[in-house]
């Protein structure tokens, strides 16, 4: 599980949220898997709405320019981001995300390795609405600043706590990673982060930095599935 700050600036997040809330929303069960529908009470932007397409482009561009996201996710295919909102009394009960997602418009299908939520509402504007993820190291509650992303394995059970005041608007997505195995992907991320730090300290052509860089890329070659 990883917090990635400032995928959007707080101003960009506010602008995006203002544009989204002015659009037409529908019942969130439009994208649920069969088991999830009963537990889900929220609203969602239709996948084919013009506001959705414009917002998808802003978010996708921001993700592709974020070095931390690219290193942590090693994305193969990102399912087009979607948008939801939770007002008072709305919630999404404990569930696991469907293993496979089909994109109706393009016929594309992905295996969901990672799920992500990009928070668009500042945390002090609503109560409740935490994203609660049951991981190996226990249950964690997440409520991030507007513009920050939570990246977590799609294999986890997770839920969204009921909103009791205000409104929580966010963007959510699934992606297939080049490295399916969570532990392998997390080790690659740790190694890459250390190589980046060492490279800053010693320079990218330092002999040991070069060896670790080589090791990183050769592990990616070994584990990546295209
Ligand atoms: Ni989910």
Strands 114-119, 149-153: parallel, antiparallel or unpaired by DSSP? antiparallel
Strand partners, 4: 149
Cα of 201 vs centre of ligand 1, distance in Å, is 40
Gap between the Cα atoms of 91 and 130, Å rounded: 10
CATH number of 182-223: 4.10.860
Cα of 205 vs centre of ligand 1, distance in Å, is 43
Domain boundaries, the chain: 2-177, 182-223
Write down the pLDDT at residue 99. Answer: 97
Contact 194, 201 (CB under 8 A): no
Cα of 131 vs centre of ligand 1, distance in Å, is 9
Write down the pLDDT at residue 81. Answer: 96
Cα of 159 vs centre of ligand 1, distance in Å, is 7
Gap between the Cα atoms of 159 and 29, Å rounded: 15
Cα of 177 vs centre of ligand 1, distance in Å, is 17
Q: In what order do the strands lie in the sheet with 138-142?
A: 40-41, 91-95, 157-160, 131-135, 138-142
Gyration radius of the chain's alpha carbons: 18
**Tokens 């418009």 -> residue:** 105
> What percentage of the chain carries pLDDT values higher than 70?
96
Give the orientation angle of helix 182-202 with respect to helix 207-223, to 10 degrees.
160
At 144-168, the pLDDT tens digits run: 999 999 999 999 999 999 999 999 9
* pLDDT, average across residues 129-147: 95
* pLDDT, average across residues 11-38: 83
Contact 133, 114 (CB under 8 A): no
Any idea which fold 2-177 has? Jelly Rolls (2.60.120)
pLDDT band at residue 29 using 50, 70 and 90 as cut-offs: confident
CA 58 from centroid of its chain's CA atoms: 14
Contact 150, 1 (CB under 8 A): yes
């Amino acid at each position: 599980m990883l917090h990635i700050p400032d995928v959007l600036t707080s101003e960009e997040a506010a602008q995006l949220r203002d544009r989204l809330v002015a659009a037409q929303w529908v019942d969130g069960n439009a994208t649920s898997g069969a088991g999830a529908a009963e537990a889900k009470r929220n609203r969602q932007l239709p996948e084919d709405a013009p506001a959705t397409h414009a917002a998808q482009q802003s978010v996708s561009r921001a993700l592709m320019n974020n070095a931390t996201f690219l290193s942590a996710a090693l994305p193969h295919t990102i399912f087009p981001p979607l948008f939801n909102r939770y007002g008072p009394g709305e919630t999404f009960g404990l569930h696991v995300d469907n293993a496979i997602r089909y994109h109706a418009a393009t016929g594309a299908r992905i295996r969901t390795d990672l799920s992500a939520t990009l928070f668009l509402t500042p945390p002090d504007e609503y109560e409740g609405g935490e994203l609660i993820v049951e991981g190996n190291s226990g249950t964690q509650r997440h409520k991030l600043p507007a513009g920050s992303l939570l990246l977590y394995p799609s294999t986890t059970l997770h839920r969204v706590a009921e909103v009791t005041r205000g409104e929580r608007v966010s963007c959510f997505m699934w992606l297939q990673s080049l490295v399916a195995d969570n532990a392998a992907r997390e080790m690659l991320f740790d190694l890459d982060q250390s190589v980046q730090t060492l490279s800053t300290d010693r320079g990218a052509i330092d002999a040991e930095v070069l060896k670790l860089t080589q090791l990183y890329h050769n592990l990616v070659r070994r584990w990546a599935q295209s």
